[in-house]
Amino acid sequence: ASGLSVAGSRTGSDITSNKDQVVSYLKSFEQHGNKVLLVLDHVDGYIQSHVVRGLLAEILCRTERVHLLMASRAYRPSLGDFKALNNLLQPLTPKESADLFLKRVHRVLRWKDIRRTKQEWIPEIERTYNTQFLDASLVERGEVPLTFNSYTREHIIREVAEHPLLKEIGKGNPQRIRQIGEKVASGLDTLWDLYE
């Protein structure tokens, strides 16, 4: 994979002077029969610029196999004479949110992360595990790790998905969920500390 960056270009004249270079670079891929996908993320801050819109229109006029994917928080109308398809991305489902969150945490989750009080976590631990094999002091303190196996996986995913941290703060937003997960490290006592 190779790439050309004009990200360092901050002024209209910088971008305009690079226009031919950008188009030539993209056309070099087309010469070999390749399709090109140009991904522009977070376009809200710059897509209204006439210089940027001119560069994109130039790319689309002078190339045949270049496709633009622009990510924006707001609806974007067509780009000049070019048709734009607007697809609204839905928030992650609760299960998808929990899966993403669990992939981002930096320590083992324990039942006291999911349930707030001993009266809440002890029945959950007893319902989920055979407690005769567990250290009673770990059960008492909620320090029993959430362990995934074929029997417990779906139940634990549902429990994590229902946590207010994901439901009320994450709200299905992948970026927020990743940020929350990154904060879950060895220095954090419980998830509830992030919620409060």
Partners of 110 in beta bridges: 145
pLDDT for the residue 77: 63
pLDDT for the residue 19: 82
Burial class (CB in 10 A: 0-12, 13-18, 19+), 121: buried
- Helix residue spans in the chain (DSSP H): 12-30, 50-62, 94-104, 111-114, 118-128, 136-141, 153-161, 164, 174-182, 192-195
Q: pLDDT tens string for the chain (196 positions)?
A: 445 444 444 444 555 567 888 888 888 888 888 888 988 888 887 777 888 888 888 888 889 888 888 888 776 666 777 777 778 889 999 999 999 999 999 999 999 999 999 999 999 888 888 877 888 999 999 999 998 888 888 989 999 999 999 999 989 999 999 999 999 999 999 999 998 7
Helix (H, G, I), strand (E, B) or coil at 80: coil
User: With contact defined as beta carbons under 8 Å apart, do 176 and 169 qualify?
Assistant: yes
User: With contact defined as beta carbons under 8 Å apart, do 152 and 128 qualify?
Assistant: yes
pLDDT for the residue 41: 84
